[in-house]
Amino acid sequence: MCNKQPWMNCRVAGWCAALMMLALPLAAETVAPPADEPAPVLDEEVQDLKAQVLNLNHELFLLEEELLFPANTQVAVFLSMDIGEYFDLDSVQLKLDGKKVSNYLYTKREVSALHRGGVHQLFLGNVKTGEHELVAVFTGLGPQGRQYRRGASLNFKKDIGAKFVELQITDREIKQQPEFFVREWE
């Protein structure tokens, strides 16, 4: 058996090497092979599989929309936010021709996505051609953290093509108040 010091050095060296290797744990699946090695077959297979699922999913998605919401009756309502510093959105209730069609509660992550420019499709449905009324009620916290509840409405005419309506929450700098608009998306 080696004497004390070399034995200890031996242990320390082993631990150092091991720790340097484990300084960052490895993730087999996220690690790409070096440039001079071919990509693993499994990775290629999973990529192919995911590509197949994506293509299939996209076709199924189109089929579903065309079947359930054909363009001649389709109406979609989107919610967007422009700045939105004076309003912390909680929920939006939507009524179409007096009938409640959506009551959506927003998560923090969704609100953050709206702040960054994302647009939420709040409602997708069918209406007949002709005149309709859309009423949206926004609930949340207004300036100084007070409970805030405001409504906005729009009368619109549904023609043969799909109709897209935008609910927009924006800031009115002069009054330091939020503003809510409902309009047809142009």
Find the binder of other proteins among 6, 16, 126, 157 (CB under 8 A).
16
Question: Residue 132's closest CA among 164, 100, 97?
Answer: 97
Residues 67-96 that bind other proteins (CB under 8 A): 67, 76, 78, 80
The reply to whether 161 sits near other proteins by the rule CB under 8 A is: no
CB of 147 to other proteins, least distance (A): 26
Residue 155 beta carbon to other proteins: minimum distance, rounded to whole angstroms = 20
CB atoms within 10 A of CB 183: 12
Residues in contact with other proteins by the rule CB under 8 A = 1, 4, 7-9, 11-13, 15-16, 19-21, 23-35, 39, 42, 45-47, 49-65, 67, 76, 78, 80, 109-110, 112-121, 164, 166, 185
